[in-house]
Amino acid sequence: NPTQVGTALQVFHNLGTLKDTIANVVDGYCTVLEENIKNALDIKVLTQPSQTVTRGGPGRAAMPTPGNTAAFRAALWTNMEKLMDQICAACGQVQHLQKVLTKKRDPVSHVCFIEEIVKDGQSDILYKFWTAVTQTLSSQFQSATDSSMFLKQAFEGEYPKLLRLYNDLWKRLQQYSQNIQRNFNTSGTTDLFAELQQMEEDTQDIFMQKNQDYDPEKALKDSLQQYEAAYLSKSLSRLFDPINLVFPPGGRNPPSSDELDSIIKTIASELNVAAVDPDLSLAVAKNVAKTIQLYAVKSEQLLSTQGDASQVIGPLTEGQRRNVAVVNSLYKLHQSVLKVITNQSSFPAAAEQAVTTALKAVHDLMGSAVQPLLNSVGDSVEAIIITMHQEDFSGSLSSSGKPDVPCSLYMKELQGFIARVMSDYFRHFECFDFVFDNTEAMAQRAIELFIRNASLIRPLGEGGKMRLAADFAQMELAVAPLCRRVSDLGKSYRQLRSFRPLLFQTSEHIASSPALGEVIPFSVILQFLFTRAPPELKSPFQRAEWSIARYSQWLDDHPSEKDRLALIRGALEAYVQSVRTREGKEFAPVYPIMVQLLQKAMATLQ
């Protein structure tokens, strides 16, 4: 009651003993709390089945009798809850006292009572009280757990429970500060407070305002540090143990579904228990990240990197089978942990970040595990496509006007190979999206190589055009198993569709096609127009005396359109030179069209 406290303070002020009285009152609270803390942690009381305390004989250690640990723990937590109530109550008294002191002025001298107390260099009473309480907590907890293994185990093992009690206490103290502030502000009009001037928002209350060099919440939680460290270390062991168990030294197989489930359950349980506090959540999340890293490292050791891991000739080898199992197991871990994080209600952003970074490393490991196989399949696809140059496309149209066969031999081989690879190898992976992300890139590359090689076929007769057009249609079917939908392949798919009609158009028509530069690069069209020229106008690779395979490699090494156009320009200039040398009267009809296209292409690069 502010009025009564104010009157009492006035009396002591008149008697000249205000400062001593307040010091005694605050010291009294501190002494009582110290007793409360000691009693709450008194192992002798905690371990007694009844309330009567018997004196332990010399050398008798106070410890819970076997089978009585649960009762001991229950009694301890009840005591701890009571202790928090006691601390809260005492704090409230001191906060209230300090509040009245800051508001009350002497009616004669108009001196504010708080100034009387502070003028001898004494810091404010709440601060003094709080430092005393927090120091007592630290020292009492330390000595109690040093002398009793059971207390130590209780606080370390159930640390989140202890932390929650402290967090609740802190919330209550702040709440009380807000309430007291409101009460004083609203009752400022009564007679007693008529002589008080409303002070600006209270700056004395340490629970409401963080001081630069003193953090009262940290002071409270300092007494918990050693238990937190022990708890986190035990938590990490709980997380690591199941992993070390399912990856025995010299083991060859990834964990079974059930074993993986138990690892996920442990992760979920550790995160759920830590959810009482954002800082603890973050610390445990970092432990979870280490756990995921450990799983990845152990999984990586199982991967086969020998030659048989990348073979694509026969059925799955032992090494390939194991690699598939490892990737599937990493995928399950990845998905399950993601689900656990999503189900965390108030998960701090930094904690989520820690776990997702570790998960990204798992995803990367999955990628590097399938890479040798993907490289191998890609090389084989390229090798099959390049054999189109061994077939004859120079023939004229047959009498029926249709090609003799639905598609070329190399295309049949390519379709068979891709279908077999998907069913023999990639079908066994459970992570379909992950597989398609990788194989779609392979499909795009296959289309790029197909168009590149098709544009280099020389000579190309009318019958050959018909067969090549059929191959373009069959190419869509060939890459279909590698993707969700062929149309998902984007630019590659549009190129395949746009290039096919150009086979039958005149060179003038091709030069004005809207697909040029937009969909199909200029360099590819120019390459194709060489096939319509007389043999004297040599393709860039013929002029350089390269094989088509070597030219294809050069194009891979020089992805920029500028380099490719420069090589084509060289070939055209060499042709002009050779016509001049033999004193020819005119250039091939396709030559001016090619020069015009080259200029247009160079202009778009500017």
Is 90 exceeded by the pLDDT of residue 413? yes
CB 95 within 8 A of CB 205: yes
CA distance to 240, 257, 330, 374, 442, per residue, from 429 (Å): 27, 15, 11, 13, 17
What pLDDT does 197 receive?
Answer: 36
Residue 343 and residue 346: Cα distance in Å, rounded?
Answer: 9
Q: In this predicted model, what pLDDT tens digit does every residue of 551-586 receive, in sequence order?
A: 999 999 999 999 999 999 999 999 999 999 988 888
Give 377's contacts (C-beta < 8 A, 6+ positions apart). Answer: 312, 421, 425, 442
Where along the chain do its domains lie? 2-49+67-183+216-225, 247-363, 391-504, 518-605
What pLDDT does 210 receive?
Answer: 55
- Among 343, 465, 464, CA closest to 393: 464
Is 80 exceeded by the pLDDT of residue 593? yes
What letter does residue 190 receive in the DSSP assignment?
A: S
Mean pLDDT of 386-392: 94
Partner residues linked to 105 by β-bridges: 112
CA distance to 254, 261, 268, 269, 283, per residue, from 265 (Å): 18, 6, 5, 6, 18
Mean pLDDT of 414-440: 94
CB 587 within 8 A of CB 576: yes
What pLDDT does 606 receive?
Answer: 80
- Mean predicted lDDT score pLDDT of the chain: 87
Structure tokens at 51: 């309330």
Give 308's contacts (C-beta < 8 A, 6+ positions apart). Answer: 317, 318, 319, 320
CB 317 within 8 A of CB 308: yes
Which has the minimum average pLDDT: 12-21, 208-217, 252-261?
Answer: 208-217
Is 70 exceeded by the pLDDT of residue 174? yes
Structure tokens at 269: 């349980």
Higher pLDDT, 488 or 186: 488
CA distance to 124, 165, 203, 205, 278, per residue, from 175 (Å): 20, 15, 16, 12, 20
Q: In this predicted model, what pLDDT tens digit does every residue of 181-216 receive, in sequence order?
A: 777 666 544 433 433 333 333 444 566 555 557 788
**Terminal Cα-to-Cα distance of the chain (whole angstroms):** 85
Is 80 exceeded by the pLDDT of residue 18? no
Question: Packing angle between helix 225-246 and helix 125-147, nearest 10 degrees?
Answer: 50
Is 60 exceeded by the pLDDT of residue 350? yes
Q: How confident is the model at residue 289 (pLDDT cuts 50, 70, 90)?
A: very high
Q: Count of CB atoms within 10 A of residue 62's CB?
A: 15
- Among 94, 97, 95, 83, CA closest to 33: 83
Question: Packing angle between helix 18-40 and helix 69-103, nearest 10 degrees?
Answer: 170
Mean pLDDT of 464-476: 94
Q: How confident is the model at residue 120 (pLDDT cuts 50, 70, 90)?
A: low
CB 376 within 8 A of CB 311: yes
Q: In this predicted model, what pLDDT tens digit does every residue of 42-95 receive, in sequence order?
A: 888 787 755 444 455 555 555 656 557 788 889 999 999 999 999 999 988 888
Residue 307 and residue 456: Cα distance in Å, rounded?
Answer: 34
Which has the minimum average pLDDT: 33-37, 276-280, 397-401?
Answer: 397-401
Helices (H) and strands (E) in the chain, counts: 24, 0
- Among 96, 166, 91, CA closest to 129: 91
Higher pLDDT, 3 or 369: 369
Q: In this predicted model, what pLDDT tens digit does every residue of 265-282 receive, in sequence order?
A: 999 999 999 999 999 999
φ and ψ at 105, to 5 degrees?
-120, 150
Mean pLDDT of 1-13: 77
Is 80 exceeded by the pLDDT of residue 385? yes
Looking up tokens 């003038």 gives 508
What pLDDT does 206 receive?
Answer: 60
What pLDDT does 285 receive?
Answer: 97
Whether the model clears a pTM of 0.75, i.e. scores above it, the answer is yes
What pLDDT does 65 receive?
Answer: 61
